[in-house]
Amino acid sequence: MSKAPIRVAVTGAAGQIGYSLLPRIASGQMFGADQPVILQMVEIPVEKAMEALKGVAMELEDCAFPLLKDMVLTSEPSEGFKDANWCLLVGSKPRGPGMERGDLIRENGPIFTGQGRAINDHAASDVRVAVVGNPCNTNCLIAMNSAPDLPDDRFSAMTRLDQNRAQAQLACKAGVDVGGVKNTLIWGNHSATQVPDFYHATIEGPSWRTSSEISKASADVVINDDEWLKDEFITTVQKRGAAII
C-alpha cells in the first residue's frame, strides 16, 4: 500500500539553495524512496522571483520524479504553509560585503515573524520546521516565538556549516583527513560571537605519529599548539563567512 503524500513547504524556492534542494526532496533523497511529496514553493512577491520559480517548477516537471505528486507556487505564506508537514525556511536576505549577521536581523526578523505566524495558523498539526536563512539561530527563535500554538521542539536551526568549518580547520592543522575529526561543537549563535569548541573534539589519523598506525586522541593533544587553538582557530571560524564574502 502506497503512502499518502506529505506536504513540504520551501521558502526561497527559486534561490540557489532552493534550486539544489528541491530535486533532492522530489527524488526521495530526503524522506525516502517510498514517500510521495507535494512541494509547496514560496517566493517573494516580486515578478522576477515568481518567474524564476515557474522555471524551477518546469525543470522539476521535466525530471518526471515519480514521487512528486503536485506543486504549489505562491508568494503568500498562508497558501505556501497550508497543511504543510515540513517547512524549510531557506529564503532570507543574503549577507553582503561589510555586513555582520547582526545586521541581517533587522532585515530578516520581520520575515520570520510573519512566517512563524503563518505556520502557526495554517500548517499541519504535526509540522516540523527547519530554519536555514541567516542568522538561522535567531531567525529560528523569532519564528518559534511567533508560533505559540506549536511546541518549541518542532523548530530546528541548521548551523552545521559552522561545525563543518571548525572540523575542517582542525583537520588542516593536524594534517589528517577531515573525516578523522569527531565531536566538534559550536556554542552560541551563527555569528562572530560563536565559540568553536575543540575541547571535546578527537582526531584520528596517522600523520601526527611516527608510525603508520591509526590512532585517536583529543584535538589539543594531537595539535599541541594552545596558542593556535585558543586564538587563530577560534577567530578563523568566527570570521570565515566574512572572509569568504
CATH of 160-244, one of 3.40.630.30, 3.50.50.60, 3.90.110.10, 3.60.20.10: 3.90.110.10
Say which CATH topology domain 6-157 has.
Answer: Rossmann fold (3.40.50)
Count H helices, E strands: the chain? Answer: 10, 11
Which sign, positive or negative, has the C-alpha torsion 116, 191, 105, 108? Answer: negative
State pTM to two decimals: 0.80
Q: Cis omega before residue 135 (within 30°)?
A: yes
Domain ranges of the chain: 6-157, 160-244
Active-site residue set: 190
Instruction: Judge contact between 65 and 27, C-beta under 8 A.
Output: yes
Can you tell me the distance from the alpha carbon of 69 to that of 66, in angstroms, rounded to the nearest whole number? 7
pLDDT in tens, 72-123: 999 999 999 999 999 999 998 877 777 776 777 888 899 999 999 999 999 9
Tell me: pLDDT of 70 over 70: yes
- Residue 201 CB: number of other CB atoms within 10 A? 22
Rounded alpha-carbon distances, angstroms, from residue 61 to 33, 36, 75, 133? 18, 15, 20, 26
Tell me: pLDDT of 41 over 60: yes
Q: Please work out, in degrees rounded to the nearest 5, the angle formed at the alpha carbon of residue 138 by the alpha carbons of 132 and 139.
A: 50
pLDDT in tens, 77-86: 999 999 999 9
Q: How high is the pLDDT of residue 137? A: 85
